[in-house]
Amino acid sequence: GAGVSQSPSNKVTEKGKDVELRCDPISGHTALYWYRQSLGQGLEFLIYFQGNSAPDKSGLPSDRFSAERTGGSVSTLTIQRTQQEDSAVYLCASSLLAGLYEQYFGPGTRLTVT
Amino acid sequence: AQSVAQPEDQVNVAEGNPLTVKCTYSVSGNPYLFWYVQYPNRGLQFLLKYITGDNLVKGSYGFEAEFNKSQTSFHLKKPSALVSDSALYFCAVRDIATRNRDDKIIFGKGTRLHILP
């Protein structure tokens, strides 16, 4: 079946512009995660959705970052007034149920802020 | 609070030799433990997990990991390394002691494995 998909695969934007990154999780997966990975580095947790529960936003680095998950499926990560330090690969993952099952990762969106 | 540590930023192993990538964890109860791999220019992939049962867990690509409760470790191992094993490896943990079943998984910072031909 289809895996986790993300769009766009690459995004170049000017400093100060807003960007939206999209994630389509695997059908039936109730948990959805966003991470950020700087070049070849570790994973930085951003936000996590589980079913209809309030999302865990504890990893969002500033109030310029927000995310939504509509209908328990597709998620959008929005970065307002982008800064150069926002440049990274943004990864989305989904799993059947948070914590119990392995996460399936999308290919990521490479964001470059010029 | 739960945490996971990968003490080595990089591990170099000659092809054909056994390899070990270290992971230690800290949780208040019993852990769920995971290993993931990220090959160059590819997405993260699940390798194996420990939930309960046998302490030695076998996973994809010939990898295995040993859960050691007394040492709070979950080291990744392979008996004979291949050049194609060169990648970035992440250990992850979830604390099943928490009553909130919506708890998230915490990832280590990653260990880069270089297999030398």
Report the number of distinct structural domains present in chain B: 1
Give CA–CA dist A57/A71, Å, rounded.
18
Contact between A99 and B90 using a beta-carbon 8 Å cutoff: no
**Is A1 a residue whose pLDDT tops 70?**
no
The number of angstroms, rounded, from the C-alpha of B3 to the middle of its chain's C-alpha atoms is: 13
Q: What is the CATH number for B14?
A: 2.60.40.10
In chain A, the percentage of residues whose pLDDT exceeds 70 is 96
Using CB atoms, pick whichever of B45, B103, B109 lies closest to residue A99. B103
Q: In this structure, what is the dihedral angle of CA atoms B52, B58, B64, B66, given to the nearest 10 degrees?
A: 20
- The DSSP secondary structure of A31-67, one letter per residue, reads EEEEEEE-TT--EEEEEEEETTSPPB-TT--STTEEE
Q: What is the DSSP letter of B75?
A: E
**Is A112 a residue whose pLDDT tops 90?**
yes
**Is B101 a residue whose pLDDT tops 60?**
no
Question: Which residue in A has a C-alpha nearest to residue B102's C-alpha?
Answer: A98
Residue-wise pLDDT for A31-62, tens only, equals 999 999 987 678 898 998 988 888 888 899 99
Contact between B43 and A105 using a beta-carbon 8 Å cutoff: yes
Task: Count other Cβ atoms within 10 Å, centred on residue A87.
Answer: 17
Residue-wise pLDDT for A71-91, tens only, equals 879 999 999 999 999 999 999
Please report whether residue A69 resides in a domain: yes
- Amino acid identity for residue B35 in this structure: W
Strands B73-78 and B106-107: unpaired
> In the prediction, which pLDDT does B30 show?
80
Q: What value, to the nearest 5°, has the Cα angle with vertex B59 and ends B50 and B94? A: 25
Please report whether residue A105 resides in a domain: no
* Minimum distance, in Å, between the CA of residue A72 and any CA atom of chain B: 15
Please report whether residue A111 resides in a domain: no
Is cis: bond before B31, omega within 30 of 0? no
> In the prediction, which pLDDT does A62 show?
95
Residue-wise pLDDT for B36-74, tens only, equals 999 987 889 999 999 888 999 999 999 999 999 999 999
Q: What token pair was written down for A57? A: 């936003």
Report the number of distinct structural domains present in chain A: 1
Please report whether residue A62 resides in a domain: yes
Please report whether residue A56 resides in a domain: yes
> Looking at chain B from residue 5 to 44, which residues have their Cβ under 8 Å from any Cβ of chain A?
32, 34, 36, 43-44
Whether chain B has a CB inside 8 Å of the CB on A23: the answer is: no
Listed residue (A19, A22, A9) closest to A69, CA to CA:
A22
The number of angstroms, rounded, from the C-alpha of B48 to the middle of its chain's C-alpha atoms is: 8
Residue-wise pLDDT for B82-96, tens only, equals 999 999 999 999 866
Domain around A40: 5-96
Residue-wise pLDDT for A91-102, tens only, equals 999 998 766 788
Contact between A102 and B103 using a beta-carbon 8 Å cutoff: no
> In the prediction, which pLDDT does B98 show?
55
Using CB atoms, pick whichever of A40, A45, A102 lies closest to residue B104. A45
**Is B8 a residue whose pLDDT tops 60?**
yes
Give CA–CA dist A16/A113, Å, rounded.
9
Q: What is the CATH number for A83?
A: 2.60.40.10
> In the prediction, which pLDDT does B82 show?
97
> In the prediction, which pLDDT does B97 show?
53
> In the prediction, which pLDDT does A10 show?
97
